[in-house]
Amino acid sequence: MDITKQRIETFQREGLTFDVIDSGPLEGEVFVLLHGFPETNKSWQETAEILNANGFRTFAINQRGYSLNAQPEGRRAYRSSALVEDVYQLIEIIGKPVYLVGHDWGAVVAWEVAIKHPESIKHLTTISVPHKAAFMQAMLRSNQLFKSYYMGLFQLPKIPEILFEKLPKIGEGLLKNSGMNEAQLADFRQDMIKEDRISTAINWYRAIPYGSKKSITEKVKVPTLFIWGKHDTAIGAKSVELNRNYVDAPYTEVIMDATHWIPVQNAAELCEHILQDI
């Protein structure tokens, strides 16, 4: 496929259809943008617009569980290896190495794509969530375990869905306390609750026990930019401090005066850092 002649609105893998927002000049160098929980590819709108204005083409994927035609049953279907290969399938269609950017759970996937398929990545940008090994070490050496209490809650059947669907004051209260603004909460109600994505999105957490143990300490070997907000309630400073130990390539770290929700709330500054680093 010659992607310079057409837009890509969807792609398929293993019977699943993934939605893509493809924007910017058709012949531009490519950014692939990976959203996190509990947001969709719409969370990249302002970031994509800025990158497009700078001559880059952007592909923002609705990932597994978020694309309405890519919601397989069973939590094992959401294991990290499947999430990685979903993204790699799009990169294969693009047909050339890309700039890969991931936020939150999208950062987790981006780290692993860079580890497993380094030849397909020109440059990696991860936002908010560090390398898995740094995160795990921080669990043992800081208050990260306390900050990550919700990950245990999300392992429970039905309870998280009840909190978000039936007890929104509690469920949305957790999101508001993390720094989400009212516009983001409105998007959450529409995209995650009304359009029925919440359960399959939570399956990413429920599939954690099925993740590969082999790549936990494997280092990234592509140029990497890591960005973290100092007001992030989910990710502590210790894992940020440890993160550089797992990149065996040029590494840049930026600490912003921001919450966890950098792509939505700080898109201009985010793009400034990305464009300076690539």
Chain position carrying tokens 């694309």: 67
Q: What is the CATH number of the domain that holds 213?
A: 3.40.50.1820
CA within 13 Å, CB half, 83: 33
Taking phi first (over 0 means left), then psi (-120 to 50 degrees means alpha), and beta for anything else, what does residue 111 get? alpha
pTM: 0.96
Number of H helices, E strands in the chain: 13, 8
pLDDT, tens only, 134-163: 999 999 889 998 888 788 888 888 999 999
Domain extent for 245: 3-277
Q: What is the pLDDT of residue 250?
A: 98
Q: How many domains does the chain have?
A: 1
**Tokens describing residue 53:** 């204005």
Helix ranges (H only) for the chain are: 45-53, 80-94, 105-116, 132-141, 144-147, 149-153, 159-165, 168-177, 182-188, 198-206, 237-243, 262-265, 267-277
The one-letter code for the residue type at 92 is E
The pLDDT value given to residue 152 = 84
